[in-house]
Amino acid sequence: PNYVTIYDNLPINSPIISNYGQSIFISGKLNVINSKTIEPYINRSPNYGFLQFVDVKINNKIVRAFNLHGRSQPGHKNDTKTRIKQSETIISYLVEDKHSNILGGDFNLNPETKSIKIIEDKGLVNLISKYGIKTTRNSMAWSQAVEHNSLGLYKYYGKQPFADYCFVSKNITVKNFEVPDIEISD
């Protein structure tokens, strides 16, 4: 009850689900001045997700907080043209240097990809690497790490330790950052 919920959903053409939703939760003590949802890639089964952001005014400065569910297929989590375009779309929505950005979510990317480097090269600090996080996933992800293709075949890509990331502008002071080992999702 003490949070403002920024929720959006997209209709999905899939036999499994009819729509997909995401939320950002912002403390009710903060002044939300703008929010937007962007599709950084075309949503097709089994790729569901989008980019959300919310602008919050704090001490006459804008903080833009992003929530991404990135392209999940193909399951190898390496660069593809679509994933690189996704990162380029994300950085086009960063606010000016005098303001601040917080970018988090399920990017579905390996850490050594060009897609991650595009975001780091824009000046954002990768908290996963800065804090030496060993994994952002758990056994639920590893037990389901298969990709279904049009022939009905499955491919296992192995134990992928990363998919989720958090980036911040250099002018943000991070007091603490951790990724708890909780089996809620991948």
Q: Which of 12-16, 141-145, 163-167 has the lowest mean pLDDT?
A: 141-145
Q: What is the pLDDT of residues 29-54, one digit of tens each?
A: 999 999 998 877 665 556 677 899 99
Residue-level pLDDT at 95: 87
Query: 71: pLDDT confidence band, cut at 50, 70 and 90?
Result: confident
d(CA 31, CA 145): 40
Taking alpha carbons only, the member of 140, 46, 6 closest to residue 164 is 140
Contact 51, 93 (CB under 8 A): yes
- Predicted confidence (pLDDT) at residue 15 exceeds the cutoff of 80: no
Query: 160: pLDDT confidence band, cut at 50, 70 and 90?
Result: confident
Report DSSP state, residue 142: H
Question: Which whole-number Å values give the CA distances from 105 to 4, 58, 173, 174, in the listed order?
Answer: 18, 22, 19, 17
Highest mean pLDDT among 4-13, 23-32, 39-48, 158-167: 23-32
Average pLDDT score over residue span 81-94: 91
The string over 147-158, giving b where at least 16 C-beta atoms fall within 10 Å of a residue's C-beta and e elsewhere, is eeeeeeeeeeee
Taking alpha carbons only, the member of 147, 163, 39 closest to residue 106 is 163
Q: Which of 46-60, 77-91, 106-120 has the lowest mean pLDDT?
A: 46-60
d(CA 70, CA 49): 6
Q: Tokens 């809620």 identify what position?
A: 184
| pTM for this predicted structure | 0.86
Query: 16: pLDDT confidence band, cut at 50, 70 and 90?
Result: low
- How would you classify the pairing of strands 19-27 and 124-126? unpaired
Q: What is the pLDDT of residues 102-117, one digit of tens each?
A: 999 999 999 999 999 9
Q: What is the pLDDT of residues 123-150, one digit of tens each?
A: 999 999 999 998 888 776 666 655 555 5
| Tokens read off for 125 | 């600090």
